Chains A and B, each alone.
Chain A
Amino acid sequence: MKRRLWISLALLLIIPGLLLTVSCAKKAVQSESEVIQPEEKDNSEAEEAARQVEIDRQTEIDRQAEIDRQEEIERDRKLEEERLQAQSLRAEEANREMMVARNMFINEDIHFDFDSAIILFSAQDLLKEKARWLEENSDVTIIIEGHCDERGTSAYNLALGDRRAESVKTFLIDLGIASSRLTTISYGEERPVDDASTEEAWAKNRRAHLIIE
């Protein structure tokens, strides 16, 4: 289809061209000898063909330029699209990372030894992570809950849970977190995460749990 269009376009240019050539030739014939007329006619025909080629070439170039331009626009559009997509992906990724960090902050408890409120060496990295997160999220205030396992007696465990929460608070303050952002609550043995009476459950229940206010 396209090809035929171009051909007809070319013909449209050639026919008036031919007419123009003929009228010119007639004038020449009038002023010059008749002998050379056929030759002149031949020449003009060749010229005409050359011009036609030239025109065709030019048209082709224009056409190509137009195609290139269109392609470039398309390419740019695509690039922009990709850029935007990547950007939103990155934002999503960042958001997800933030959520992961936030969830980690909430979900990962600090665990303690039996009848102890001392921050274990193994819990220090976790607390440092939490402090970093708190630094990055400086508008957040948190509640530190202190919990105990079911062993022991209830009032003592409430006091012990209080000490565990206070230990975590002190540690975070030492890492530069403002104390005004940290509140403590002790639940003693009243809110276990695991109701079983096993060493494993007890270890899980001896914890400080952080909550974002």
Chain B
Amino acid sequence: MQLCLSPHAQIDKIMKYYFKIFFFIIITGLFAGVLVCQAEYDYIDINNPFLRKIPIAIPFFKSIGDGPEAAKASVAGSDLLSETLEFTGYFKMLDRGAFLSDSQSSLIAPKINFRNWTFIKAELLITGGILIKNNVVEMELRLFDTFKERLLIGKRYKGWKKDQRKIIRRFCDEVVYHLTGKHGIFSTKLAFVSDSTGNKEIYICDFDGHDPKRFTHNKTITLFPAWSSSGKQLAYTSFIRGKPDLFIKNINKKRGFRLVKKGIQIAPAWVPGKYMLSATLSFSGDQEIYLLTGEGKIINRLTKSRGIDVDATWSPDGKKMAFVSKRSGTPQIYIKEIASDRVSRLTYDGRYNTQPSWSPHGDKIAYSAMSGTQINIIVIDIKSGKLLKLTDGQGDNESPTWSPDSSLIAFSSTREGQSKIYVMTMYGTDQRRLFTMAGEQTDPAWSPGFANK
């Protein structure tokens, strides 16, 4: 069997290599012969991009080639594109039933009757063509401004059929980058904790909940996944040795480091741009936050107050650390400036504020606030101290984590009974469950933005 397969595998390998290069060339170059405009005005309001969603029409892709497989691929591809873009919260997906024109016939600019689209209030239009042949998929995708009657982006892709999702996500990233000036989140991942096996273990899924895979096999309580800023390591706490110990694991090779100290070792948080992380350790008898190397060696102690200091999160420049301290009697969030050692209190509202998460944009911190018996997610503007309550009256909402573009927040909620992972925009709109999985899911951690590969 092995011998029979190996030539195929070799050919596959060569083909793959060839396609990779081909793929790269195609996407780096712009679609030939078409004038592409740069964005001349803001499609998306930076101040609140979710206040007014852009109406966008995505008709079914035109399938080049015949047969039921081609038709199926057309529907699946256009649906996936639509769902992926909708996930961002920037767009209002227009109902295909309202489309006037025959979407399958007019996909190229000169032939498109833009008035048919502006009539149904579509401001953007994405057309696509798809060809599937021998496990290889070819796609042409175009974004138009219907009012200006202009092509904004045109791309042609070629890859393995199984990589169709990747291709569509890449085009979505082009679209979002064109409209916002920032790369999207379509190649990011989420780590989270699930007890579906009976033990809390760490899992990793795509940003949209697709393809969850188990990462740890510890058969005991495992908590607090934390991505390094390169996205190559995951730190977490596990009871493998009977108590909460810190582990640092390489995502791919799963090799790693363990911290050997008595007491608890919890809530790791990586310093952006550095191969360093902080964690709360209690070997001294007091729960203090320490700075560690990426190999889990202690560099120094960062907090110096008796009582609980926990839940560190770092400013994107790595110069400040927000954390939870009980120094004033109740758990509140403080900010420490590392260079000056100065500590200032951030939260005054309520008697239980924990789990701060610094937005990658740097100006806001999301956290979990308990009032009564309910926990809700609040975003505080660091400069003004203004609060925005994002969840309310729907169970406990905990563990906020920002998407690397600061546009979305994932969190866990018990609104439907068991704890599940949800996502919402940074303004609390578009709250929805990310995926369905047995058991309870908690502790989501959004990966940093990976290089587009």
State A187–B375 Cα separation when bound (angstroms).
21
Residues of B near A176 (CB, < 8 A) are none
B223 in the interface, Cβ–Cβ < 8 Å?
yes
Residues of B near A187 (CB, < 8 A) are 221
Report yes or no: A153 in contact with B308, Cβ–Cβ below 8 A. Answer: no
Interface 1/0 per residue, B406-432 and A, CB below 8 Å: 000000000000000000000000000
Residues of A near B354 (CB, < 8 A) are 152-153, 155-156
Chain B nearest Cβ from A193, distance in angstroms = 16
State A151–B373 Cα separation when bound (angstroms).
7
The residue that B287 contacts in the complex, of A115, A153, A163, A185, with Cβ under 8 A, is: A163
The residue that A152 contacts in the complex, of B287, B307, B352, with Cβ under 8 A, is: B352
Report yes or no: B370 in contact with A162, Cβ–Cβ below 8 A. Answer: no
A60 in the interface, Cβ–Cβ < 8 Å?
no
Report yes or no: B310 in contact with A185, Cβ–Cβ below 8 A. Answer: no
The residue that B264 contacts in the complex, of A151, A153, A159, with Cβ under 8 A, is: A159
A81 in the interface, Cβ–Cβ < 8 Å?
no
Q: Which of B263, B308, B368, B398 counts the most chain A CB atoms within 10 A?
A: B308
Residues of A near B221 (CB, < 8 A) are 187, 190
**Beta-carbon nearest neighbor of B279 in chain A:** A155
Report yes or no: A156 in contact with B311, Cβ–Cβ below 8 A. Answer: yes
B244 in the interface, Cβ–Cβ < 8 Å?
yes
Report yes or no: A156 in contact with B285, Cβ–Cβ below 8 A. Answer: no
Residues of A near B104 (CB, < 8 A) are none
Q: List 12 A-B contacts (CB under 8 A).
A: A115-B331, A151-B375, A152-B331, A153-B355, A154-B224, A154-B442, A155-B310, A156-B308, A162-B263, A163-B308, A166-B282, A187-B221
The residue that A153 contacts in the complex, of B237, B285, B368, with Cβ under 8 A, is: B368
A110 in the interface, Cβ–Cβ < 8 Å?
no
B280 in the interface, Cβ–Cβ < 8 Å?
yes
Asked, given contacts A159-B287, A163-B287, whether A153 binds B280 with beta carbons under 8 Å apart, the answer is: no
Chain B residues touching A, range: 20 to 34
B330 in the interface, Cβ–Cβ < 8 Å?
yes
Report yes or no: B280 in contact with A155, Cβ–Cβ below 8 A. Answer: yes
Interface 1/0 per residue, B298-341 and A, CB below 8 Å: 00000000011011000000000000100000110000000000
State A174–B24 Cα separation when bound (angstroms).
70
Top 8 closest pairs, chain A to chain B, by CB: A155-B267, A159-B287, A159-B308, A153-B354, A159-B310, A156-B354, A162-B264, A185-B243
Report yes or no: B242 in contact with A155, Cβ–Cβ below 8 A. Answer: no
Report yes or no: A155 in contact with B368, Cβ–Cβ below 8 A. Answer: no
A160 in the interface, Cβ–Cβ < 8 Å?
yes
Residues of B near A168 (CB, < 8 A) are none
Interface 1/0 per residue, B423-453 and A, CB below 8 Å: 0000000000000000000110000000000
Report yes or no: B370 in contact with A151, Cβ–Cβ below 8 A. Answer: yes
**Beta-carbon nearest neighbor of B268 in chain A:** A155
Report yes or no: B310 in contact with A156, Cβ–Cβ below 8 A. Answer: yes
B185 in the interface, Cβ–Cβ < 8 Å?
no
The residue that A156 contacts in the complex, of B223, B237, B263, B331, with Cβ under 8 A, is: B331
State A155–B443 Cα separation when bound (angstroms).
10
Interface 1/0 per residue, B247-283 and A, CB below 8 Å: 0000000000000000110110000000000001010
Question: What would 18 more interface pairs be, CB under 8 Å, given A115-B352, A156-B311?
Answer: A152-B354, A153-B370, A153-B398, A155-B223, A155-B224, A155-B280, A155-B311, A156-B324, A158-B237, A158-B266, A159-B266, A162-B263, A162-B264, A163-B308, A166-B285, A185-B242, A187-B221, A190-B221
State A115–B263 Cα separation when bound (angstroms).
19
Residues of B near A184 (CB, < 8 A) are 263
Report yes or no: A152 in contact with B370, Cβ–Cβ below 8 A. Answer: yes
A205 in the interface, Cβ–Cβ < 8 Å?
no
Residues of B near A154 (CB, < 8 A) are 223-224, 442-443
State A139–B373 Cα separation when bound (angstroms).
44
Task: Find residues 118-167 in chain A having any chain B CB closer than 8 Å to their own CB.
Answer: 151-156, 158-160, 162-163, 166
**Beta-carbon nearest neighbor of A151 in chain B:** B373
Report yes or no: A159 in contact with B280, Cβ–Cβ below 8 A. Answer: yes
Q: Which of A153, A160, A166 counts the most chain B CB atoms within 10 A?
A: A153
State A188–B352 Cα separation when bound (angstroms).
16
B403 in the interface, Cβ–Cβ < 8 Å?
no
B399 in the interface, Cβ–Cβ < 8 Å?
yes
State A58–B244 Cα separation when bound (angstroms).
91
Chain B nearest Cβ from A106, distance in angstroms = 18
Residues of A near B244 (CB, < 8 A) are 158, 186, 188
Residues of A near B282 (CB, < 8 A) are 159, 162, 166
Q: Which of A151, A158, A166, A187 counts the most chain B CB atoms within 10 A?
A: A158
Interface 1/0 per residue, B210-250 and A, CB below 8 Å: 00000000000101100000000000010000111000000
Chain B nearest Cβ from A142, distance in angstroms = 14
Residues of B near A159 (CB, < 8 A) are 264, 266, 280, 282, 287, 308, 310
Interface 1/0 per residue, A80-120 and B, CB below 8 Å: 00000000000000000000000000000000000100000
Residues of B near A188 (CB, < 8 A) are 244
State A58–B62 Cα separation when bound (angstroms).
136
Interface 1/0 per residue, A177-194 and B, CB below 8 Å: 000000011111010000
State A160–B330 Cα separation when bound (angstroms).
12
State A158–B368 Cα separation when bound (angstroms).
16
State A208–B72 Cα separation when bound (angstroms).
60
Task: Find residues 153-182 in chain B having any chain A CB closer than 8 Å to their own CB.
Answer: none
Residues of A near B443 (CB, < 8 A) are 154
Residues of A near B352 (CB, < 8 A) are 115, 152
Report yes or no: A158 in contact with B264, Cβ–Cβ below 8 A. Answer: yes
State A160–B352 Cα separation when bound (angstroms).
13
